[in-house]
Every structure is written in structure tokens, then in C-alpha cells.
Structure 1
Amino acid sequence: MSQQTVNGISMNYEIYGEEQPSCWPILLLHGLGSSLRDWEYQIEKFSSDFQVIALDIRGHGLSEKSTDEYSIALFADDVAAFLKKINIKKVNVVGLSMGGMIAFQLSLSHSDLIHSLVIVNSGPDFRLKNFSAKFKVRLRLFMLKYFSMKRVGRLVAKGLFPEKNQKALRQLFVGRFIENERQAYIKALKAILNWSVESQIAEITQPVLIVAADKDYTPVAHKKNYASKIPRAIINVISDSHHAVPVEKPEVFNRLVLDFLKTV
């Protein structure tokens, strides 16, 4: 574990593998309420061909939980400042869920740092456009106010890993979820709400791989729709998988990502 102070906070990160003269490093950005540990099934595989940087986003993992309000733009600024601090010129960003949102934001506000994007079960827009979406968020916020983090974690785990044979994954998730500081998690959740760069995605010039689980919370059709607006985007669908596809289907996911990154 290593720490760097950027934008007034201490950020936790790990670097794996050697710097490669022929390819840019991979930067792994985790999802809401997660940490760099959730890339454990990717790090060994990816670092055999690329240098890999895994980072705890502000308010997550072992990075500092600052008292100010969070936003996706702030998270992206943190990441950009961190990369500059450790003298990384460009990266291939792999972002899951909230990490994918940060990746989109980075590609627009700090495009000079981005060589390519891998967007995993995410999108360029999280505006709450209907009653169902608003209800789900309000329910999550209600639970976070009145329930224990363990109980919230169990409910979230059922959505991430719903199959009967995924009990061990659910238990692992809950064990890590309860390490979240409640207010930091709430601020990160609120950072996502009504964030959008959808009107700007046609400006993204880097190669983009969109990885979609066929049983994700948002339908594949939605991802295909926004992919069609990005000039150099391609989409791959992983069958029989859910939101946390890097954990659920690591071999398939790793192969897709590496095949893409070796061509860009």
C-alpha cells in the first residue's frame, strides 16, 4: 500500500508490474462503496503485460474521507492530480460502474491523460428520469439512514450476486461493504445523482470498449445507444453475468479487456 497527497487528501494506491516502453499503464477505477481490492481477479493477469495502477477513490478504501461534498468531477480531478504527481503521462482507464463515470469525466476534462477507455456496466448519464429510478435511490438513502451498514450491504449483495451458488461472493462483498464510513458512502452516492456528460460523449476521441453484462441493472440496449454516439467505441456483451462482472466472470472479462488493449 502506498499513499500520495493530492488535492488536499491522502490517496491510497498500489502499482503492479514494470513500466512497459511499448504500452501505457492500466488504471483501475472501482465502483461505489468499493476499493482497489475488488480488482484482485484482474491485477495478476493484467500486470503480466502492462503496468497496473489500482487506486482508492476519495472516501473509499484507505483513501482519505474528506469533509467536503463529493462529485464525479472532483473524483476525476483527484485522479488527474494523482497521475501527474506520480509522473504518469497517459493511461488506459478501466472503470466499473461509478469508476466508469469517472473515466468518462476524465476523458473530457483531462483528455491528455487518457489513451483508451474500458467502461464496465456504466454510462455517461445518471439523471433520474423516472419514478422507478428515483424510488430506488430514495430507498437506498433511507436504508443508509436507518439500517446498519451490514444490513444495507446484504441487500446490495443480493442484487450484485443473485444466484444460489454465489453465497461466498455475497459474504465477501458484505464483509468489505461494512468497512465503508457511512457518511462518506452517502456523499459518494449523492455525487452520482443527476451527473451527466451525455451531451459531450461525441467529443471523446480515444478508443473505447464498453463491456456490458446481459443481466446488469441497465439494459444492453441502453449501452448500445450511447456507444453509437462515441466515434471509436465498440461494445461487447458478457452473457449470464451481472453488475460485478469482473468478479463474477473474471476469465471472460480479462480476455476481452486485454484483447482490446493490445490493439490500441
Structure 2
Amino acid sequence: MLSPAHEAHNNVVDRGTGDPVLFLHGIGCNALTWEPQLQVLESSRRVIAIDARGHGGSPPAEGPMTLRDYADDVLAVMSDLGIERAPVVGLSMGGMVAMTMSLAAPERVSGLVLADTGAHANADMAANMKMAGAAAVEYGMRANVEQMTPMLFAAAALAENRPYIKEFQDQVATTDAHSFSVALGAIAELDLLDDLPRLDVPTLVLVGDEDQTLPSVFSEAIAAAVPGAELQVIDEAGHMSNLDQPEVFTDHLVRFLSRTGN
């Protein structure tokens, strides 16, 4: 459980009124990554998108962190905003943090939407995470995101050079490189799969059919492990499925929230 002494220092986008929904972005991104979904949901709900440490407007990570540390940050934000319980939508690293939250404080999470994420890092993945973190510190975030971009978006989006790709690159380029490396170190220790059968909340798992970063096998493993989880594959979408196919992604999200009463 979260220590009472833990205070939230994260930058937060907080819009709309009604039942709250929390949004957790992927590594290197920030709350603005969720803009297509926030614009739709804020007319009927209170939408809260949180910048992880060292991302967006949040202060940098000062030392090593675990996924539980990031989860505690989110729980602290909830407490500061007077939110006792809410559904959590997480993409990539955000999904890992959402699962960690739900396992650590199940009474605070009423539902999970886990997009393009994973629950276990094998040895190769862990080694790659650590190498990528070191490269980001050495060469900078602009070089890092330009190298990552072909792995993150659908082939059609890249071929058409859709505007949101440049917007995404500009967002990631502002991320603190050390904090990015710290977050990759946390992901390298990812080991949640065996604990997922303990989750007891409605869960929707989404994945882009062209996700090269965390291919559908990762989402399939999560959906198989979480009791009653629903898996939906989004066509013509890469790792950033909420940007490649925002309408389809949001339709799945709205349907899930309505159907589960969240």
C-alpha cells in the first residue's frame, strides 16, 4: 500500500467533469499523447492524464525507479485529486504501471485498458532496454526518437508522413534523457505475468496488428492470464495504436467503460 508520506509531484492534465478516467502514457511520451481520446471523453467524464517523472511537465527522476515507484506516483495523484477509485488506461509502459497499480492497490482500480503493452521482460528484452537507455543519454532524445519511429507506427502512417508522427517526435525529444533511461531500467525488471491471475477487475487488452515494439503475442499472454479479459486487435495500427487509429481505439474505450459501468 502507498505510504501516507508519499506526495504527488507529477504534472497532470485534468479536464471535464463526471466519473474520472486515468490515462498513463508510454515511455518517452507525455499526457498529450492521449489528446485524441481526451477530446472525446472530456465531454462526459473527468479525464486525467499524468506525466511520468521526467516526462512532459513532471520533474526528472533523481535515481533508479521501479514500476511500483511509478505506480505509487499515480496513486498519490489520485489521492491529491480526491479520487478513491477509477478505471486506468495505459499504453506500453503506462499499461505496465496500470497493472502494477491494480496488483498493489486493487481497491483503487475499477477497470483496466491495457494497450500495446507487456507483462514480462525476458533476458534479451531487458538487455535491449538497458542499451537503449545508455544510448539515449549519450546521443540525446532527438536521435533516439528518430531511430525508434519506424518501430512505433503503422506502415501507412509512415508512408503518408502523417502530421501526428512529427508531433510525437517533438514531444519525445523534450523528455529528459536520464529519466528515459531510468524508465527503461524499470521496464527491464518487468515480471508481472505470473501475478495477473490475481486481477479481479474488468480488463480490455488492445494491440495494433502492426505493433513491432511489443507484438500481439505480449497482449495475448496478458489476456490469457487475466480472468475474463477481452482482447481486441486494431487493424492498420502500430505500437502507438491510439494515434494510428484514434477513432477505433476510442470506440473500444468508450464501449468498454459503458459496458463495465466504469
Q: Is residue 72 from structure 1 mapped to residue 67 from structure 2 by the alignment?
A: yes
Counterpart of 1:156, as a letter, is M
Alpha-carbon distance in structure 1 between the residues aligned to 2:46 and 2:109: 15
Please identify, of 136-145 and 252-261, the stretch whose mean Cα deviation from structure 2 is larger: 136-145
Counterpart of 2:85, as a letter, is K
Alpha-carbon distance in structure 1 between the residues aligned to 2:245 and 2:71: 27
Q: Is residue 46 from structure 1 mapped to residue 41 from structure 2 by the alignment?
A: yes
CA contact (8 A) 2:61 2:182 kept: no
Gaps of 5+ in 1: 1-5
SS in 1 for 2:161: helix
Q: 1:12 — aligned with what?
A: 11
CA contact (8 A) 1:27 1:54 kept: yes
What TM-score do you get using the length of structure 2 for normalisation? 0.90
Alpha-carbon distance in structure 2 between the residues aligned to 1:224 and 1:184: 29
Question: Compared with structure 1, are the counterparts of its residues 69 and 135 closer, same or farther at alpha carbon in structure 2 (3 Å cutoff)?
Answer: closer
User: Over aligned residue pairs, what C-alpha RMSD do you find?
Assistant: 1.8
Q: 1:128 — aligned with what?
A: 122
CA contact (8 A) 2:129 2:185 kept: no
Q: Percent identity?
A: 27
Alpha-carbon distance in structure 1 between the residues aligned to 2:141 and 2:79: 35
Structure 1 residue 262: Cα displacement: 0.2
CA contact (8 A) 1:157 1:173 kept: no
Q: 1:3 — aligned with what?
A: none
Alpha-carbon distance in structure 2 between the residues aligned to 1:137 and 1:233: 28
Q: Is residue 60 from structure 1 mapped to residue 60 from structure 2 by the alignment?
A: no
Q: 1:195 — aligned with what?
A: 190
Question: Compared with structure 1, are the counterparts of its residues 37 and 17 closer, same or farther at alpha carbon in structure 2 (3 Å cutoff)?
Answer: same
Structure 1 residue 81: Cα displacement: 1.5
What TM-score do you get using the length of structure 1 for normalisation? 0.89
Higher relative contact order (CA 8 A, sep 6+): 2
Q: 1:95 — aligned with what?
A: 90
CA contact (8 A) 2:89 2:112 kept: yes
Large movers: runs of 4+ above 4 Å:
none
Q: 2:252 — aligned with what?
A: 256
Please identify, of 240-249 and 140-149, the stretch whose mean Cα deviation from structure 2 is larger: 140-149
Q: Is residue 149 from structure 1 mapped to residue 141 from structure 2 by the alignment?
A: yes
SS in 2 for 1:115: strand
SS in 1 for 2:11: strand
CA contact (8 A) 1:158 1:170 kept: no
Alpha-carbon distance in structure 2 between the residues aligned to 1:138 and 1:187: 9
SS in 2 for 1:257: helix
Please identify, of 37-46 and 169-178, the stretch whose mean Cα deviation from structure 2 is larger: 169-178
Counterpart of 2:144, as a letter, is V
Alpha-carbon distance in structure 2 between the residues aligned to 1:142 and 1:148: 10
Structure 1 residue 9: Cα displacement: 5.6
Question: Compared with structure 1, are the counterparts of its residues 192 and 138 closer, same or farther at alpha carbon in structure 2 (3 Å cutoff)?
Answer: closer
Gaps of 5+ in 2: none
Alpha-carbon distance in structure 2 between the residues aligned to 1:237 and 1:227: 12
Q: Is residue 246 from structure 1 mapped to residue 245 from structure 2 by the alignment?
A: no
User: Across the two proteins, how many residue pairs are aligned to each other?
Assistant: 252
CA contact (8 A) 1:59 1:188 kept: no
Please identify, of 46-55 and 29-38, the stretch whose mean Cα deviation from structure 2 is larger: 46-55
Q: 1:27 — aligned with what?
A: 22
Q: Is residue 235 from structure 1 mapped to residue 227 from structure 2 by the alignment?
A: no
Q: Which of 188, 206, 211 is the aligned partner of 1:211? A: 206
